[in-house]
Structure 1
């Protein structure tokens, strides 16, 4: 997700119902690139519309869908980052019919991701405005503040979430949201919400975060650097043992947003500023570009994230722009696993 605002301004605007976001970083969105994929972008995968979920909100001047996540029954949930108070902030979408319904709202949250914990089965939401992590039941009931407060002396600007199999959270903390700031962090929060560990810092607005299929390390994207890095973790996943820049995304005017992986280890890198996703192998080869039909892409600006059906290749990505917020479907290169959802 990308913003034009500082964290303090975001908090104030969210409380007033006037939150103005454009993805999850600082740069303004540009006109989308045309299909088909250009040389060097791999094969072109065509996405088709599944559902028109939201329109631009009068109160905030935009809509921004994020954090698609499929449960074990194939039900898709997502968040609308810019939804004002009283309008749905977590939305359930029937991918078979395109019908959708709001399941949760509140007065202050600006939720940038959704993820289901493998430990307690609840849905966890990152609140970009207040720096907290909230959990709810999947039907929107029983909201709880899982984590709030400071990490190593400063409040987080949490963007995306990854879970390990034990239910511990790994959060991309955008932290500095002004151009050229490089004080972003990757933060681990133990599953009881009581202990935090900064795994990496000095990052340029970290956004996407997801484990590899073996849960040996984390893939992370830095929005203002257009890079994807790999953080190898120790056995109990409390320390980074090595870190390197793995992929530079040649996105032109587009920037690196959220990340998902499939069972084969392929990376699906969402693009802020272009309604498309770049697909890479685990060794950095550009395999494909997921694109919308040209007539649809004209009114859309960003593809923020993807969910791939566990055990299948059917994938759903969230796309937004002046024409509204949509879910588009496509065929992924590999089958979905838990790490293929949300973030």
Structure 2
């Protein structure tokens, strides 16, 4: 999550050529069509706590992740954190406390997710085209994957794991140039083989498996659309189509989470809200902040408590980086926990 032409514009001046992403909403019909359409719920999220403040050098902060660890801690990343300041943070949502887990002097980490294969925390480094992993305590940093994929370096934004631990990446290559050169990349669980499943995409950002692990939902930042990539039995691409068009106005589609019923939670960059759709593309709800919330302009991602319905949304803006909570429409699973 970030944006120069969207997500990293202000921050990326300080981090280099970084650029990130996201946000969206929807419009309704009129007349008889609108009268017969089901009402879209408004869900009010409530503030849990402030996690970060705007950094002095860049004047901004951008929370992403978030992912629950096995110990119940909620891990988030601060995309814009400079070297020496916390880049991975563990939050105790019950006690409303947080502590630094990891930092370095180079990475711009845009997502976090725990692998079902080795239990490590995986981070995408948008700025350096790498995927790295950490032990749950933040130590033992390893480079999982680095280098070109089909002759081009990635700008990895979000990540999703299949049940075996193979990794699927939204590669926002071409974002800073405004060209549709993005890809969906699959990396095997050992980090040795990588291939392109889809290309020519408009800055792909969010990515998550559907409720049955049969295919991938992914959002395209600069087209404000959500596409569906059906997978074959070997984890390769079987088919692809545009599934949902998100009318976001000045906002753009960011990260995606999926609950146990298959509902999609689409983060919005440029508006502090989330759009919720069912698997058939029907708009079910809009998650919004209380009217008194000020200085927050993006809701990038969400984690739904595994086996529960309490959802924690990462929200950022000039006022800082915050967690807001709401009740999801269905229980959380691995696909609603990080990425």
Could you say whether these structures have the same fold, taking a TM-score greater than 0.5 normalized by the shorter chain as the test? Answer: yes
Shift of 1:251: 1.3
Within the alignment, does 1:302 sit opposite 2:287 as a pair? no
8 Å Cα contact 1:176/1:182 also seen in 2: yes
Shift of 1:178: 3.0
Shift of 1:40: 8.1
Aligned equivalent of 1:56, options 54, 57, 77: 54
Shift of 1:139: 0.9
Gap change, CA 1:219 and 1:279, over 3 Å in 2: same
Once the two structures are superposed, residues 6-41 of structure 1 have per-residue CA deviations (whole angstroms, 9 ceiling, x without a partner) of: 9xx99996xxxx22899823x9x99x99xxxxx987
Gap change, CA 1:320 and 1:5, over 3 Å in 2: same
Shift of 1:103: 0.5
SS at match of 2:292: helix
8 Å Cα contact 1:266/1:279 also seen in 2: yes
8 Å Cα contact 1:316/1:330 also seen in 2: yes
**In structure 2, distance between residues paired with 1:5 and 1:277:** 20
1:276 aligned partner: 273
**In structure 2, distance between residues paired with 1:261 and 1:85:** 33
- Runs of 4+ more than 3 Å apart: 9-13, 20-23
8 Å Cα contact 2:47/2:323 also seen in 1: yes
SS at match of 2:95: coil
Shift of 1:74: 2.2
Shift of 1:51: 1.3
SS at match of 1:236: coil
Once the two structures are superposed, residues 209-259 of structure 1 have per-residue CA deviations (whole angstroms, 9 ceiling, x without a partner) of: 00011110000000000000100000121x211111000011111110000
8 Å Cα contact 1:66/1:79 also seen in 2: yes
Paired residues, what number? 329
2:2 aligned partner: 2
**In structure 1, distance between residues paired with 2:125 and 2:18:** 15
**In structure 1, distance between residues paired with 2:161 and 2:135:** 17
8 Å Cα contact 1:20/1:60 also seen in 2: no
8 Å Cα contact 1:175/1:183 also seen in 2: yes
SS at match of 1:167: coil
8 Å Cα contact 1:11/1:130 also seen in 2: no
Once the two structures are superposed, residues 241-290 of structure 1 have per-residue CA deviations (whole angstroms, 9 ceiling, x without a partner) of: 11110000111111100000000000000000000000000000000000
**In structure 2, distance between residues paired with 1:287 and 1:265:** 12
1:96 aligned partner: 94
Gap change, CA 1:332 and 1:11, over 3 Å in 2: closer
Gap change, CA 1:21 and 1:281, over 3 Å in 2: farther
Gap change, CA 1:75 and 1:21, over 3 Å in 2: farther
SS at match of 2:308: coil
Once the two structures are superposed, residues 173-197 of structure 1 have per-residue CA deviations (whole angstroms, 9 ceiling, x without a partner) of: 0000136410100000001111001
Within the alignment, does 1:332 sit opposite 2:328 as a pair? yes
TM-score by length of 2: 0.92
Unpaired stretches in structure 2, ≥5 consecutive residues: 27-36
8 Å Cα contact 2:16/2:127 also seen in 1: no
- What is the RMSD of the two structures over their aligned residues, measured on CA atoms? 2.6
**In structure 2, distance between residues paired with 1:217 and 1:171:** 13
8 Å Cα contact 1:5/1:21 also seen in 2: no
